[in-house]
A and B are shown apart, each in its own frame.
Chain A
Amino acid sequence: MSGAPRPGERELAELVYREARLLDEQRYDEWLALLAEDARYWVPLAASETDPVASQSIAYEDRLLLEIRIRRLQSPKAYSMHPPPASRHVLQAPVMETLDHAANRYVTQTPFVYVEARGDEQITLAGTARHELRVEDGALRIALKRVDLLNAGAALPTIYLFL
């Protein structure tokens, strides 16, 4: 990832790709390091949702909850990790929605297919990931990752890892 103070489209796309790769490789400490201190990870129940606090969500987590989630995944007592799930994010090229150097605000939209396998079962989900990014101490950080599943309101199977 570039440390350029004025990231271009390439740097933004690289960050989105790297973020997905870190999740798929379960390199969670490095993933957490990509997040701003006030970052949020949001999986709304509908694409029309604008307020994560005033609505039901599949997930809406700050760093503390994300750290808890990761610690749990790494615990020998996390029974759902047996057999261990594995994920693959298949990303389309990110669309640059906002590239505002003056406001230090960068937004990308990335359509994706998410596959999660566990034992003999495999699920496939699709959606769009929206990354709101900013430069902090010379590096791009994620302020918000919002994941809109195509079928967020449907009866969903268990999703063990991170979309």
Chain B
Amino acid sequence: MKTYRSDPAAIGRLVEPDRVHRDLYLSEELFALEQERLFTRAWIFAGHASQVPKPGDYVTAEIAGRPLILVRHQDGALHVLMNRCAHKGTMIVTDRTGNVGRAFRCPYHSWAYRTDGTLLAVPNPAGYEGTGMAGCETGRGLVRVASAARRGFVFARLADDGPSFEDYFGPALAALDLAADRSPAGELEIAGAPLRSVIGCNWKVYLENVNDALHANVTHESAAIAAEAAWRGRGGGTPVPTALEQLLPFGSGTDFMEKMGGRVFANGHSYLGTSQSIHSGYAALPEYDAAMIAAYGEARAREILAWAPQNMILYPSVALKASPQTMRVIRPLGSDRTLVEAWAFRAKGAPAALLERTQLYNRMVFSPMSMVAHDDVHVFEAIQRGLNASGNEWVSLHRDFARAELGAAPFDSSGLNEVLMRNQFRAWAALMAAPEVH
């Protein structure tokens, strides 16, 4: 039987210029190849520096099925290490966060590692004298993987070689600046734990929806209508409460969504909402605006505050909003299972009301109990099952397709142009290419 592993050209044939084959979402073999290729070659979000402020602080994460530790070393440097004892393979830490002090110690035979991963000590070392232990992988300690940070956002690349952090994200790296500049101190901090939801769909269904402005007033009609009716039932008027300010724009019309504007970058990254978004109309917080103006000057502060895109995607793991200060991290669990984490950021130097706005948005829109997400999840899971139908093996991405977009990046589009999704799949095909044989 032909497999995608044995027939590398077959993977390329799944991504046509204006449509993709359903196997991208359904195939177990492709999911395994994604874990092996795409998620090791791409730079994936590992954690945020604010989660590990002191030496010895760590958080754990999983990328491409590999257990990882993001830890702050004694010298202040951040390292991403494989969470696997060099001896027998035990995970060294199993809490989601903690502080390990000066060294990790394995609970099985007490092998100890410095927080840069190097082997510190093994008990009864005489037993290893004259053996090959020190000279092989085991002697090197915890495997350290490539990591890089910008404005506190730490990304890891598991593959030994591949594009540098700067080359991989290119101009889209500015997304992190555009988010962090929302703080009067220029710094974001993770606030609390994430909301974590498991959805019964392929991760690509979720990620392409992040760039789908056209679904909002269809899928979320029930939430937008309910919000409007409840407000009208109470007499309506202005100003509307913050919750409604966040919910009502989900009913925005197609014209509004089209004018949002989009921009795609090489390697699958994108901004949706380059000129406006459902977040543009939030009321000013005078105390916050004053702090921003004091920090940046009037002109620059206004420029930063005006940038409120729908989503900025750092493909394939991050969907970030500048306002509210929230980030979703997409973590694939299987071909038909995806974990989505919704994180809140505290903008250093901003009043508490700003963080409250973020937390309100996260629980209303990204929580497992979200009245907005419920209809999304329904659709995502219905796609995952619907694609098993026969007679049409393709998913349409035709809207506004133009030859001129091929190879052109950055490329500006309307908010409804499916180039925002096509661009993700082109990156997918490139990251899924068979390894070169040396």
Among residues of A, the one whose C-beta sits closest to the C-beta of B331 is: A155
Is B225 part of the contact surface with A, judged by Cβ < 8 Å? Answer: yes
Asked whether B371 lies within 8 Å of A53 as measured between CB atoms, the reply is: no
Number of A residues, CB within 8 Å of B: 33
Per DSSP, chain B at the interface is helix
Among A15-68, those with CB < 8 Å from B are: 43, 45-46, 53-60, 64-65, 67-68
Asked whether B375 lies within 8 Å of A79 as measured between CB atoms, the reply is: yes
A63-95 to B contact mask, C-beta < 8 Å, 1/0: 011011101100101111010000000000000
Asked whether A80 lies within 8 Å of B375 as measured between CB atoms, the reply is: yes
Among residues of A, the one whose C-beta sits closest to the C-beta of B191 is: A56
Name which of B129-137, B282-290, B355-363 contacts chain A: B355-363
Asked whether B243 lies within 8 Å of A59 as measured between CB atoms, the reply is: no
Is B369 part of the contact surface with A, judged by Cβ < 8 Å? Answer: yes
Asked whether A56 lies within 8 Å of B197 as measured between CB atoms, the reply is: no
Asked whether B363 lies within 8 Å of A157 as measured between CB atoms, the reply is: no
Among residues of B, the one whose C-beta sits closest to the C-beta of A119 is: B381
Asked whether B193 lies within 8 Å of A79 as measured between CB atoms, the reply is: no
B352 surroundings in chain A (CB, below 8 A)? 54
Among residues of B, the one whose C-beta sits closest to the C-beta of A43 is: B369
How far apart sit A131 and B369, CA to CA, in the bound complex (Å)?
Answer: 20
Could you tell me the distance in whole angstroms from the C-beta of A132 to the nearest C-beta in chain B? 20
Asked whether B199 lies within 8 Å of A75 as measured between CB atoms, the reply is: no
* Given known A55-B359, A57-B363, A72-B223, contact A153–B193 (CB-CB < 8 A): yes
Asked whether A71 lies within 8 Å of B226 as measured between CB atoms, the reply is: yes
B234-255 to A contact mask, C-beta < 8 Å, 1/0: 1000000101100100000000
Asked whether B230 lies within 8 Å of A158 as measured between CB atoms, the reply is: no
* Given known A53-B356, A56-B191, A68-B230, contact A159–B377 (CB-CB < 8 A): no
* Given known A64-B234, A65-B243, contact A157–B375 (CB-CB < 8 A): no
Is A102 part of the contact surface with B, judged by Cβ < 8 Å? Answer: no
Could you tell me the distance in whole angstroms from the C-beta of A152 to the nearest C-beta in chain B? 9
* Given known A65-B243, A72-B222, A77-B225, contact A157–B368 (CB-CB < 8 A): yes
* Given known A80-B377, A153-B193, contact A75–B222 (CB-CB < 8 A): yes
Asked whether A57 lies within 8 Å of B230 as measured between CB atoms, the reply is: no
A64 surroundings in chain B (CB, below 8 A)? 230-231, 234, 241, 243-244
Could you tell me the distance in whole angstroms from the C-beta of B329 to the nearest C-beta in chain A? 12
A71 surroundings in chain B (CB, below 8 A)? 225-226, 229-230
Asked whether A159 lies within 8 Å of B371 as measured between CB atoms, the reply is: no
Among residues of A, the one whose C-beta sits closest to the C-beta of B382 is: A79
Among residues of B, the one whose C-beta sits closest to the C-beta of A45 is: B193
Asked whether B219 lies within 8 Å of A56 as measured between CB atoms, the reply is: no
Asked whether A158 lies within 8 Å of B197 as measured between CB atoms, the reply is: yes
Among B176-211, those with CB < 8 Å from A are: 191-199
Is B405 part of the contact surface with A, judged by Cβ < 8 Å? Answer: no
A43 surroundings in chain B (CB, below 8 A)? 369
Cross-interface CB contact of B222 among A53, A65, A78, cutoff 8 Å: A78
B367 surroundings in chain A (CB, below 8 A)? 57-59
Is A154 part of the contact surface with B, judged by Cβ < 8 Å? Answer: yes
Asked whether A158 lies within 8 Å of B193 as measured between CB atoms, the reply is: no
Asked whether A158 lies within 8 Å of B363 as measured between CB atoms, the reply is: no
Asked whether B378 lies within 8 Å of A80 as measured between CB atoms, the reply is: yes
A53 surroundings in chain B (CB, below 8 A)? 356, 359
Is B383 part of the contact surface with A, judged by Cβ < 8 Å? Answer: no
Among residues of B, the one whose C-beta sits closest to the C-beta of A60 is: B363
Q: 28 A–B contact pairs at CB < 8 A?
A: A43-B369, A45-B193, A45-B195, A54-B359, A55-B359, A56-B194, A56-B195, A56-B344, A56-B362, A56-B363, A57-B363, A58-B367, A64-B241, A64-B244, A65-B243, A65-B364, A67-B233, A71-B226, A72-B371, A80-B377, A80-B378, A153-B193, A155-B196, A155-B339, A157-B197, A157-B198, A157-B368, A159-B368
Residues of A within 8 A of B (CB): 43, 45-46, 53-60, 64-65, 67-69, 71-72, 75, 77-80, 82, 153-160, 163
Residues of B within 8 A of A (CB): 191-199, 219, 221-223, 225-227, 229-231, 233-234, 241, 243-244, 247, 339, 342, 344, 352, 355-356, 359, 362-364, 367-369, 371, 373-375, 377-379
Q: What would 18 more interface pairs be, CB under 8 Å, given A59-B363, A157-B198?
A: A43-B369, A45-B195, A56-B191, A56-B194, A56-B342, A56-B344, A58-B369, A59-B369, A65-B364, A68-B223, A68-B227, A68-B371, A71-B225, A75-B226, A79-B379, A80-B378, A158-B373, A159-B368
